[in-house]
Amino acid sequence: MNTTRRQFLKTVGAAAALPAMPSVVRAQSWPNQVIRAIVPFTAGSTLDVIGRIVADALSQRLGQPIVVENRGGAGGTIGSATVARANPDGYTLLINASAHSAAPAAYPQIAYDVAKDFAAIASFGSVPNVTIVNPTRGIKTLKDLVAEGQRKGELLFSSAGVGSATHWAAERFRIAAGLKVAHVPFRGGPEATMEVVADRVDFACMGTSSSMSLIEAGKLLPLAVSTPQRSRALPNVPTTIEAGFPDSDYTFWNGLLAPAKTPREIINRLYDETRKVLAMPAVIEKLKVQAIEEMPLTPEEFDALILKEIDVNKALVKAAGLKFN
């Protein structure tokens, strides 16, 4: 091969490689500025507390601040829409929960596609939802609550918003129990929990993280947890299945996501660093207080779980006879 021919091939090869270079360069230099993480529920909610624990430790590993912003409302879809529209450069992330995969069922007109507009990164774990009542009601078990519903004809329950994990857990339970209920949604878990404390609603199915202190203070009575197994935080509280209601369990996961076109090198870096954070003794202790259970998933497995749940939640809406605009 003559010299001219070799030079020509090198030039063509270099030109062909150019389109891929910007993404690689960005990924190699990332992060070099502040990262924004959107929590689409109010401050003090289960997701917010867990997300801040992980974000604080993750920022130390990455060497850049992670600023957590709360943008609650509409079952998490307002904050999620912000991330869906963000530049996919690794500087805008989403800390979300099971409400993410419920959004297409609860909000058919949302301005983003859950399946296509996000890339899952890492699950922080799952948190048991606990069915809580005001202790002054004299209700001691889940079957007592069902009997109360049958006597009254309808029960009121509060939640952190339409399509939130707290909403879906309650719907799973009421379908299994054959209850007639009325839903009172709020912008976040703390507000919904205080409705039970104030005795303005009959029950709620809240994350243990946001209700444990009130349970310990005797202001709330836990009747059952939504997970298939008992919670380490509430070992004496039965599951909804143990309480006599098959197919009533619900998994409330929490995790980190990014806009769909975020470079894979950044997704993988975030996954690796998040797994290291979740293995840190100090973080483990903080999450233990929040009653979070391990749920290790690769980004690919996390994406697959979300896709599966989209269909499951649409089926739940149909089974529950729920109507959304």
pLDDT tier, 325 (very low <50, low <70, confident <90, very high otherwise): low
Is pLDDT at 8 greater than 50 in this prediction?
Answer: no
Q: How far are the Cα atoms of 22, 54, 322 from residue 160, in angstroms, in the given order?
A: 41, 21, 17
Q: Give the pLDDT confidence of 62-97 residue by residue, as tens digits.
A: 999 999 999 998 889 999 999 999 999 999 999 999
72 phi-psi bin (left φ>0, alpha ψ -120 to 50, beta other): beta
Q: Please, are residues 67 and 37 in contact by the beta-carbon 8 Å criterion?
A: yes
Question: 30: closest CA among 262, 272, 266?
Answer: 266
Q: Please, are residues 226 and 205 in contact by the beta-carbon 8 Å criterion?
A: yes
Question: 256: closest CA among 231, 281, 275?
Answer: 275
More confident residue, 20 or 324: 324
Q: Give CB contacts under 8 A, 24+ apart, made by 276-281.
A: 276/61, 277/54, 277/57, 277/58, 277/61, 278/54, 278/122, 278/124, 278/125, 280/57
pTM of the model: 0.82
Hey, do 31-127+252-320 and 129-225 end up sharing a CATH topology, with the first three levels equal? Answer: yes
CATH code of 129-225, in short, is 3.40.190.10
Question: How is the chain split into domains, by residue range?
Answer: 31-127+252-320, 129-225
Q: Which residues contact 229 (CB under 8 A, 6 or more apart)?
A: 239
Phi and psi, residue 139, nearest 5°: -85, 125
Using DSSP's 3-state secondary structure scheme, residue 293 falls into strand
CATH architecture label of 31-127+252-320: 3-Layer(aba) Sandwich (3.40)
pLDDT of residue 270: 98
pLDDT of residue 7: 53
Across 5-14, 255-264, 306-315, least confident range: 5-14
Over residues 141-154, the mean pLDDT reads 97
What's the DSSP call for residue 19?
Answer: G
Over residues 119-138, the mean pLDDT reads 96
Q: What burial class does residue 197 get, using C-beta atoms within 10 Å of its C-beta: 0-12 exposed, 13-18 middle, 19+ buried? A: middle
Q: Give the pLDDT confidence of 180-210 residue by residue, as tens digits.
A: 999 999 988 899 999 999 999 999 999 887 8
pLDDT tier, 267 (very low <50, low <70, confident <90, very high otherwise): very high
Which amino acid is residue 234, in one-letter code?
Answer: L
Phi and psi, residue 160, nearest 5°: -85, 10
pLDDT of residue 15: 45
